[in-house]
Amino acid sequence: MTNTTAAHPDVSVLVPTYNVERYVAQCLDSLCAQTLENIEIICINDGATDGSAAILHDYANRDARIVVIDKENSGYGASLNRGMECARGAYLAIAEPDDFAERSMYATLYDFAQRYDCDVVKSNFYEYAEGRNRKNRNLQGYPMKTPFDPADQPRIICTIPSIWTGLYRTDMLKREGISFRETPGAAFQDTSFVLKTWFVAKRCVLVRKPLLHYRMDNPSSSVKTSDRIFVVCDELAESERFLRERPDRCEKFISWFHVDKWGKYRWNYERIDASCHEEFAERMRSEYACAFESGELVQSYFADGDWRAVTQLLDEGAASFAAHHLETF
Protein backbone atom coordinates (compact mmCIF):
# COMPACT_ATOMS: atom_id res chain seq x y z
CA MET A 1 0.00 0.00 0.00
CA THR A 2 1.51 3.31 -1.05
CA ASN A 3 -1.49 5.67 -0.99
CA THR A 4 -0.68 9.29 -0.25
CA THR A 5 -2.84 10.90 2.41
CA ALA A 6 -4.96 13.84 1.23
CA ALA A 7 -4.31 17.31 2.62
CA HIS A 8 -7.39 16.88 4.78
CA PRO A 9 -7.79 13.27 5.90
CA ASP A 10 -11.22 12.07 6.91
CA VAL A 11 -9.81 10.41 10.04
CA SER A 12 -6.56 10.71 11.98
CA VAL A 13 -5.78 7.48 13.82
CA LEU A 14 -3.39 7.84 16.76
CA VAL A 15 -1.35 4.79 17.77
CA PRO A 16 0.49 5.38 21.09
CA THR A 17 3.25 2.78 21.14
CA TYR A 18 5.50 1.47 23.89
CA ASN A 19 7.13 -1.99 23.93
CA VAL A 20 4.52 -3.89 21.94
CA GLU A 21 6.71 -5.50 19.27
CA ARG A 22 4.74 -8.73 19.60
CA TYR A 23 1.43 -7.14 18.55
CA VAL A 24 1.93 -3.84 16.74
CA ALA A 25 2.31 -5.31 13.23
CA GLN A 26 -1.14 -6.87 13.47
CA CYS A 27 -2.54 -3.52 14.55
CA LEU A 28 -0.88 -1.64 11.68
CA ASP A 29 -1.91 -4.29 9.14
CA SER A 30 -5.53 -3.76 10.17
CA LEU A 31 -5.20 0.02 9.84
CA CYS A 32 -3.46 -0.06 6.46
CA ALA A 33 -6.18 -2.39 5.14
CA GLN A 34 -9.07 -0.09 6.08
CA THR A 35 -11.70 0.36 3.38
CA LEU A 36 -11.71 4.06 4.28
CA GLU A 37 -8.46 4.96 2.55
CA ASN A 38 -8.32 8.71 3.26
CA ILE A 39 -6.86 8.35 6.73
CA GLU A 40 -3.61 9.29 8.36
CA ILE A 41 -2.00 6.95 10.88
CA ILE A 42 0.07 8.79 13.46
CA CYS A 43 2.26 6.39 15.44
CA ILE A 44 3.80 7.87 18.57
CA ASN A 45 6.85 5.95 19.72
CA ASP A 46 6.99 6.65 23.46
CA GLY A 47 10.66 5.78 23.86
CA ALA A 48 10.17 2.07 23.27
CA THR A 49 13.12 -0.09 24.30
CA ASP A 50 12.19 -3.17 22.27
CA GLY A 51 11.77 -3.51 18.50
CA SER A 52 8.53 -1.50 18.29
CA ALA A 53 10.12 1.63 16.81
CA ALA A 54 11.80 -0.31 14.00
CA ILE A 55 8.47 -1.90 13.11
CA LEU A 56 6.74 1.50 13.02
CA HIS A 57 9.39 2.97 10.71
CA ASP A 58 9.30 -0.07 8.44
CA TYR A 59 5.54 0.36 7.96
CA ALA A 60 5.97 4.11 7.41
CA ASN A 61 8.44 3.39 4.61
CA ARG A 62 5.83 1.22 2.92
CA ASP A 63 2.70 3.36 3.43
CA ALA A 64 2.83 7.14 3.01
CA ARG A 65 -0.21 7.57 5.25
CA ILE A 66 1.83 6.52 8.29
CA VAL A 67 3.72 9.17 10.26
CA VAL A 68 6.04 8.20 13.12
CA ILE A 69 6.76 10.56 16.00
CA ASP A 70 9.74 9.47 18.09
CA LYS A 71 9.88 10.92 21.61
CA GLU A 72 11.34 10.20 25.02
CA ASN A 73 9.19 8.10 27.31
CA SER A 74 6.63 10.33 29.02
CA GLY A 75 3.49 8.21 29.18
CA TYR A 76 0.26 7.46 27.36
CA GLY A 77 -1.40 10.84 27.86
CA ALA A 78 1.59 12.85 26.68
CA SER A 79 1.94 10.61 23.62
CA LEU A 80 -1.68 11.09 22.59
CA ASN A 81 -1.45 14.85 23.09
CA ARG A 82 1.56 14.92 20.76
CA GLY A 83 -0.44 13.00 18.21
CA MET A 84 -3.43 15.32 18.57
CA GLU A 85 -1.20 18.33 17.88
CA CYS A 86 -0.24 16.82 14.53
CA ALA A 87 -3.65 15.41 13.54
CA ARG A 88 -5.22 16.91 10.40
CA GLY A 89 -8.31 14.73 10.13
CA ALA A 90 -11.90 15.87 10.51
CA TYR A 91 -12.27 13.14 13.12
CA LEU A 92 -9.85 11.64 15.60
CA ALA A 93 -9.54 7.94 16.44
CA ILE A 94 -7.29 6.08 18.85
CA ALA A 95 -5.95 2.59 18.18
CA GLU A 96 -4.16 0.71 20.92
CA PRO A 97 -1.12 -1.03 19.40
CA ASP A 98 -2.07 -4.42 20.83
CA ASP A 99 -5.62 -4.28 19.37
CA PHE A 100 -6.75 -4.58 15.76
CA ALA A 101 -9.70 -3.29 13.75
CA GLU A 102 -12.18 -4.77 11.32
CA ARG A 103 -11.42 -3.61 7.77
CA SER A 104 -14.71 -1.70 7.63
CA MET A 105 -14.36 -0.04 11.03
CA TYR A 106 -13.48 3.54 10.11
CA ALA A 107 -15.56 3.55 6.93
CA THR A 108 -18.60 2.52 8.98
CA LEU A 109 -18.01 5.05 11.73
CA TYR A 110 -17.18 7.85 9.32
CA ASP A 111 -20.27 7.16 7.23
CA PHE A 112 -22.48 7.69 10.27
CA ALA A 113 -20.46 10.72 11.35
CA GLN A 114 -21.02 12.33 7.95
CA ARG A 115 -24.62 11.25 7.53
CA TYR A 116 -25.74 12.69 10.88
CA ASP A 117 -23.13 15.43 11.43
CA CYS A 118 -21.95 13.71 14.62
CA ASP A 119 -19.62 14.84 17.35
CA VAL A 120 -19.01 11.24 18.49
CA VAL A 121 -19.63 7.85 16.90
CA LYS A 122 -18.93 4.62 18.80
CA SER A 123 -19.32 0.91 18.21
CA ASN A 124 -19.37 -2.23 20.28
CA PHE A 125 -16.23 -4.39 20.39
CA TYR A 126 -14.88 -7.90 20.66
CA GLU A 127 -12.90 -9.14 23.66
CA TYR A 128 -10.04 -11.03 22.04
CA ALA A 129 -7.90 -13.62 23.81
CA GLU A 130 -5.99 -16.69 22.64
CA GLY A 131 -7.29 -16.33 19.10
CA ARG A 132 -10.94 -16.17 20.11
CA ASN A 133 -13.48 -13.35 20.08
CA ARG A 134 -16.33 -12.71 22.48
CA LYS A 135 -18.82 -9.94 21.75
CA ASN A 136 -18.95 -7.23 24.40
CA ARG A 137 -22.32 -5.50 24.12
CA ASN A 138 -21.15 -2.41 25.97
CA LEU A 139 -23.75 -0.18 24.32
CA GLN A 140 -26.76 -2.45 24.72
CA GLY A 141 -29.91 -0.62 25.77
CA TYR A 142 -29.08 2.65 24.03
CA PRO A 143 -30.41 3.97 20.70
CA MET A 144 -28.60 2.51 17.70
CA LYS A 145 -27.90 4.11 14.33
CA THR A 146 -29.89 7.21 15.21
CA PRO A 147 -28.49 10.51 16.51
CA PHE A 148 -29.08 11.58 20.11
CA ASP A 149 -27.76 14.04 22.65
CA PRO A 150 -25.95 12.19 25.47
CA ALA A 151 -27.59 14.62 27.92
CA ASP A 152 -30.86 12.86 27.04
CA GLN A 153 -29.25 9.48 27.82
CA PRO A 154 -26.94 10.49 30.70
CA ARG A 155 -26.49 6.94 31.99
CA ILE A 156 -24.32 6.34 28.92
CA ILE A 157 -21.35 7.77 30.82
CA CYS A 158 -21.45 4.56 32.92
CA THR A 159 -20.55 2.38 29.95
CA ILE A 160 -17.01 1.02 29.49
CA PRO A 161 -14.90 3.95 28.24
CA SER A 162 -13.70 1.95 25.16
CA ILE A 163 -11.88 5.00 23.83
CA TRP A 164 -10.61 2.93 20.92
CA THR A 165 -14.07 2.23 19.42
CA GLY A 166 -14.91 5.82 18.59
CA LEU A 167 -14.51 8.77 16.28
CA TYR A 168 -14.35 12.21 17.92
CA ARG A 169 -14.90 15.42 15.98
CA THR A 170 -11.56 17.21 15.98
CA ASP A 171 -13.10 20.69 16.03
CA MET A 172 -15.14 19.76 19.11
CA LEU A 173 -12.03 18.59 20.97
CA LYS A 174 -10.20 21.82 20.13
CA ARG A 175 -13.16 24.08 20.93
CA GLU A 176 -13.76 22.46 24.32
CA GLY A 177 -10.07 22.14 25.21
CA ILE A 178 -10.24 18.36 25.56
CA SER A 179 -6.91 16.57 25.80
CA PHE A 180 -5.24 13.94 27.96
CA ARG A 181 -3.75 14.34 31.42
CA GLU A 182 -0.02 13.78 31.15
CA THR A 183 0.49 11.52 34.14
CA PRO A 184 3.28 8.90 34.09
CA GLY A 185 2.79 5.51 32.53
CA ALA A 186 -0.49 4.24 31.10
CA ALA A 187 -3.34 3.98 33.57
CA PHE A 188 -6.76 5.67 33.51
CA GLN A 189 -5.73 8.52 31.15
CA ASP A 190 -8.68 7.64 28.93
CA THR A 191 -11.10 8.28 31.80
CA SER A 192 -11.40 12.06 31.74
CA PHE A 193 -11.08 12.20 27.94
CA VAL A 194 -14.07 9.93 27.39
CA LEU A 195 -16.22 11.56 30.06
CA LYS A 196 -15.52 15.03 28.69
CA THR A 197 -16.54 13.97 25.19
CA TRP A 198 -19.85 12.61 26.50
CA PHE A 199 -20.43 15.79 28.50
CA VAL A 200 -20.08 18.17 25.55
CA ALA A 201 -21.11 16.14 22.48
CA LYS A 202 -24.53 17.15 21.18
CA ARG A 203 -24.98 14.58 18.40
CA CYS A 204 -23.84 10.97 18.83
CA VAL A 205 -24.52 7.74 17.01
CA LEU A 206 -23.91 4.22 18.30
CA VAL A 207 -23.20 1.18 16.12
CA ARG A 208 -24.32 -2.23 17.38
CA LYS A 209 -21.80 -4.25 15.35
CA PRO A 210 -18.44 -4.89 17.07
CA LEU A 211 -15.72 -3.31 14.96
CA LEU A 212 -12.63 -3.51 17.18
CA HIS A 213 -10.79 -6.51 18.64
CA TYR A 214 -9.72 -5.55 22.16
CA ARG A 215 -6.87 -7.77 23.31
CA MET A 216 -7.37 -9.29 26.74
CA ASP A 217 -4.23 -11.49 26.87
CA ASN A 218 -1.41 -8.93 26.83
CA PRO A 219 0.40 -9.54 30.15
CA SER A 220 1.95 -6.05 30.15
CA SER A 221 -1.32 -4.20 29.63
CA SER A 222 -1.79 -1.18 31.90
CA VAL A 223 -4.96 -2.69 33.39
CA LYS A 224 -2.76 -5.40 34.90
CA THR A 225 -0.86 -2.94 37.09
CA SER A 226 -1.91 -1.92 40.60
CA ASP A 227 0.31 1.00 41.58
CA ARG A 228 -0.60 4.71 41.73
CA ILE A 229 -3.71 4.15 43.79
CA PHE A 230 -5.14 7.65 43.43
CA VAL A 231 -4.66 8.18 39.69
CA VAL A 232 -8.30 7.33 39.00
CA CYS A 233 -9.38 9.87 41.62
CA ASP A 234 -7.39 12.59 39.92
CA GLU A 235 -8.85 11.71 36.52
CA LEU A 236 -12.39 11.86 37.90
CA ALA A 237 -11.70 15.10 39.78
CA GLU A 238 -10.61 16.64 36.48
CA SER A 239 -13.75 15.32 34.78
CA GLU A 240 -15.94 16.80 37.52
CA ARG A 241 -14.18 20.16 37.30
CA PHE A 242 -14.79 20.22 33.55
CA LEU A 243 -18.47 19.30 34.00
CA ARG A 244 -19.18 21.87 36.70
CA GLU A 245 -17.85 24.61 34.43
CA ARG A 246 -20.83 23.80 32.16
CA PRO A 247 -23.87 24.22 34.46
CA ASP A 248 -26.50 23.32 31.87
CA ARG A 249 -24.77 20.02 31.11
CA CYS A 250 -23.86 19.43 34.75
CA GLU A 251 -27.50 19.37 35.76
CA LYS A 252 -28.10 16.49 33.36
CA PHE A 253 -25.03 14.41 34.16
CA ILE A 254 -23.89 15.00 37.74
CA SER A 255 -25.98 12.34 39.51
CA TRP A 256 -24.97 9.71 36.97
CA PHE A 257 -21.38 10.89 37.28
CA HIS A 258 -21.42 9.82 40.93
CA VAL A 259 -22.74 6.39 39.89
CA ASP A 260 -20.01 5.98 37.29
CA LYS A 261 -17.37 7.17 39.74
CA TRP A 262 -18.46 4.59 42.30
CA GLY A 263 -18.05 1.81 39.75
CA LYS A 264 -14.55 2.99 38.87
CA TYR A 265 -13.62 3.37 42.53
CA ARG A 266 -14.90 -0.14 43.26
CA TRP A 267 -12.78 -1.56 40.42
CA ASN A 268 -9.72 0.35 41.61
CA TYR A 269 -10.29 -0.80 45.19
CA GLU A 270 -10.16 -4.42 44.02
CA ARG A 271 -6.90 -3.99 42.12
CA ILE A 272 -4.82 -2.13 44.72
CA ASP A 273 -3.00 -3.84 47.57
CA ALA A 274 -5.11 -4.50 50.68
CA SER A 275 -2.71 -2.38 52.72
CA CYS A 276 -4.03 0.66 50.83
CA HIS A 277 -7.74 -0.11 51.26
CA GLU A 278 -8.38 2.07 54.29
CA GLU A 279 -6.59 5.06 52.77
CA PHE A 280 -8.54 4.71 49.54
CA ALA A 281 -11.81 4.15 51.42
CA GLU A 282 -11.25 7.41 53.29
CA ARG A 283 -10.89 9.25 49.97
CA MET A 284 -14.16 7.69 48.81
CA ARG A 285 -15.94 8.51 52.07
CA SER A 286 -14.92 12.15 51.92
CA GLU A 287 -16.08 12.60 48.34
CA TYR A 288 -19.37 10.76 48.76
CA ALA A 289 -20.19 12.58 51.98
CA CYS A 290 -19.97 15.84 50.01
CA ALA A 291 -22.11 14.44 47.20
CA PHE A 292 -24.71 13.17 49.70
CA GLU A 293 -24.89 16.51 51.50
CA SER A 294 -25.33 18.34 48.19
CA GLY A 295 -28.30 16.12 47.26
CA GLU A 296 -26.59 14.84 44.11
CA LEU A 297 -26.83 11.13 45.00
CA VAL A 298 -29.94 9.44 43.62
CA GLN A 299 -30.52 6.06 45.26
CA SER A 300 -32.54 4.64 42.36
CA TYR A 301 -29.62 5.19 39.97
CA PHE A 302 -27.37 2.83 41.96
CA ALA A 303 -27.53 -0.96 41.94
CA ASP A 304 -28.83 -2.18 45.30
CA GLY A 305 -25.48 -3.58 46.39
CA ASP A 306 -23.65 -0.40 45.45
CA TRP A 307 -26.08 1.80 47.36
CA ARG A 308 -25.69 -0.39 50.44
CA ALA A 309 -21.91 -0.05 50.13
CA VAL A 310 -22.16 3.74 49.82
CA THR A 311 -24.34 4.05 52.90
CA GLN A 312 -22.17 1.62 54.88
CA LEU A 313 -19.10 3.65 54.05
CA LEU A 314 -20.77 6.88 55.12
CA ASP A 315 -22.23 5.35 58.30
CA GLU A 316 -19.31 3.18 59.43
CA GLY A 317 -16.29 5.21 58.31
CA ALA A 318 -13.29 4.15 56.25
CA ALA A 319 -11.54 1.91 58.81
CA SER A 320 -14.59 -0.21 59.51
CA PHE A 321 -15.55 -0.34 55.85
CA ALA A 322 -12.08 -1.51 54.80
CA ALA A 323 -12.03 -4.14 57.52
CA HIS A 324 -15.30 -5.64 56.33
CA HIS A 325 -14.66 -5.27 52.61
CA LEU A 326 -11.20 -6.78 52.29
CA GLU A 327 -11.25 -7.40 48.54
CA THR A 328 -14.50 -6.22 47.03
CA PHE A 329 -17.77 -4.53 47.77
CB of 148 closer than 8 Å to CB of 120: no
Q: What is the pTM assigned to this prediction?
A: 0.93
pLDDT of residue 218: 56
pLDDT at 47: 96
CA-to-CA distance for 156 and 168, rounded, in angstroms? 16
How much is the CA Rg of the chain, to the nearest whole Å?
Answer: 20
Helices (H), 96-188: 105-116, 170-176
pLDDT of residue 219: 56
Q: Are strands 204-215 and 120-129 parallel, antiparallel or unpaired?
A: parallel
Burial group, residue 2, by CB count within 10 angstroms (0-12, 13-18, 19+): exposed
pLDDT of amino acid 227: 53
| CA separation for the pair 320, 84 (Å, rounded) | 45
Q: Determine the straight-line distance between the first and last CA of the chain, rounded to whole angstroms.
A: 51
Q: Which residues in the chain land under pLDDT 70?
A: 1-6, 186, 218-227, 326-329
